[in-house]
Structure 1
Amino acid sequence: MPNDRDIDAPVSLQGLWPDSDDEVIEGDESGFKQEYETQTIEVCSTPLQVRQFIFHSKNANRVWPGTFNLAEYYLSSETSGDINDLKNKKVLELGSATGLLAIRLIQEGVTVITCDYKDEGEIKDNILHNFTLNNLPHVPHIEHTWGTGWVDGGFDVIVASDILLYCGVYKELVFTLKELIDKPEKKFVMSWNRRMEESKEFFELMEDGGFVCEHLGKCVYLFMLKT
């Protein structure tokens, strides 16, 4: 569990992205106008195209800062992570949002399946769109709401970036992680950049659920079942 000194204020998203390449406004029958922009964002020295929506009820519309922490953990020579730890393994990205992290890992030869909240298809469609933008074939996507019972399995590593935004559903998140991480050799690797004092509860619930936590540096945490 993190120390008090590890807790800081939430990171502001404003100003994290360059000017958009294009901006589109779409209308629907309710009168709501959805806006999105397609941008070039560099992830570990590789420029990628990503479409981000101006609004989504579960904040699956943006690239979160933790995406870069986790990518750098696995891809930078200055960190303890090793991309080879993910190769030849089945990886699930929980809370994929725009799919940017999955895209970057797949470019390095990792097998990744994306997963996010079960909405009316907007998250899935946007992830597939971003795969197309970056000239990658589509990968399977799982629509799943935490705590509702997992229907797929066999994953060796679960990765996630900044998924602790909604404090009210920590119990549901831990429920899902306990379903996914059901063997000691499986791993959950999480970047926790957008920090809140309330997020301590998640670490406590994970400990109560039989997990041990290791801080790997640069806001990246590893969870495994106690042995």
Structure 2
Amino acid sequence: MDIALFSPASLFADPDGDSNDEETKESHQNFVERKHQFPGMELIIREFSFHQLNANLLWPGTFAFAEWLVQNRSWMAGRRVIELGSGTGALAIFLHKSFNLDITTSDYDDPDIEDNIAHNCRFNGIIPVLPHIKHSWGEIFPITNPDWNLVIASDILLYACLLPRPAFLMSWRRRIRKEDESLFFNGCDEAGLEVQHLGTRVYCIVPREVNC
């Protein structure tokens, strides 16, 4: 088992918006297990050493978003939550264990990703595992009448389809260039969505007539 080879802060973008590439340990195995420190909790998370459709590791937005949600836990009170781009499931696992949050994970339609999230749930004491939705972005969402009332995401790619009700919380740190940010936020404006910066690069995105 490996200790995480970087601190979350070491991967944060610098003030100019540029990021420093950090080399991580390469492994010829399918998976590597790492210990990660979340607020008040250590989780052991199995990550892909390589997966074509998965980011393969935990990105800084995950840790920053976890800290922000702990400090702003009223956002989660009484909510049914879905996380887009759950990756390893680490953020959802942390939120469920910390707040007994009703949360569903979601990621690309790939059995290896789903199985790994389930593994991480079980390894960190969540049985039964969290519900999971397989969904390839750009395709029709498989749930026709979703009743989640909070959608969260950290360090996802910016072509995510935003669910319109009632709020979408998003955090990122490393993977997004400034020009891509502009394209995304301009697209939100053209789609009739309002983006509010809540601090620590956490954004609330809602239909223009709805307040965060």
Match of 2:155 in 1: 162
Match of 2:130 in 1: 139
Question: Distance in 2 between the 1:91 and 1:141 partners?
Answer: 12
* Alpha-carbon distance change, 59 to 11 in structure 1, aligned in 2, over 3 angstroms: farther
- 1:191 equivalent in alignment to 2:166: no
Deviation of 1:57 (Å)? 1.5
Written as runs of structure 1 = structure 2, the 5 A alignment for 1:68-107 is 68-76=63-71, 81=72, 83-107=73-97
Count of residues in correspondence between the two structures: 190
Deviation of 1:197 (Å)? 2.4
CA contact (8 A) 1:190 1:221 kept: yes
Question: The residue matched to 1:189 in structure 2 has which SS?
Answer: strand
What TM-score comes out, normalization by structure 1 length? 0.77
- 1:111 equivalent in alignment to 2:73: no
* Alpha-carbon distance change, 7 to 211 in structure 1, aligned in 2, over 3 angstroms: farther
Question: The residue matched to 1:204 in structure 2 has which SS?
Answer: helix
CA contact (8 A) 2:28 2:49 kept: no
Counterpart residue identity of residue 58, structure 1? L
Deviation of 1:193 (Å)? 0.7
- Identify the match of residue 8 of structure 1 among 6, 13, 17: 17
* Alpha-carbon distance change, 128 to 224 in structure 1, aligned in 2, over 3 angstroms: same
Question: Distance in 2 between the 1:218 and 1:189 partners?
Answer: 12
Deviates more, 1:57-66 or 1:217-226: 57-66
Match of 1:31 in 2: none
Deviations 1:91-126 (A, max 9, x none): 00000000000001001121110000112x011000
Question: Distance in 1 between the 2:45 and 2:125 partners?
Answer: 12
Written as runs of structure 1 = structure 2, the 5 A alignment for 1:31-46 is 35-46=30-41
Question: Distance in 2 between the 1:11 and 1:101 partners?
Answer: 23
Deviations 1:163-194 (A, max 9, x none): 02xx6xx2xx2xx31xx22x4xx111010212
* Alpha-carbon distance change, 129 to 65 in structure 1, aligned in 2, over 3 angstroms: same
Question: Distance in 1 between the 2:40 and 2:53 partners?
Answer: 29
Unaligned segments of structure 2, at least 5 residues: 1-13
Deviations 1:53-104 (A, max 9, x none): 111213332111100111010113xxxx2x2321321100000000000001
Counterpart residue identity of residue 222, structure 1? C
Over aligned residues, Cα RMSD in angstroms? Answer: 2.2
Deviation of 1:139 (Å)? 1.3
Q: Following superposition, which runs of at least 4 residues in structure 1 exceed 6 angstroms of deviation?
A: none
CA contact (8 A) 2:193 2:205 kept: yes
- 1:148 equivalent in alignment to 2:139: yes
Deviation of 1:11 (Å)? 5.3
* Alpha-carbon distance change, 43 to 12 in structure 1, aligned in 2, over 3 angstroms: farther
CA contact (8 A) 2:54 2:113 kept: no
What TM-score comes out, normalization by structure 2 length? 0.82
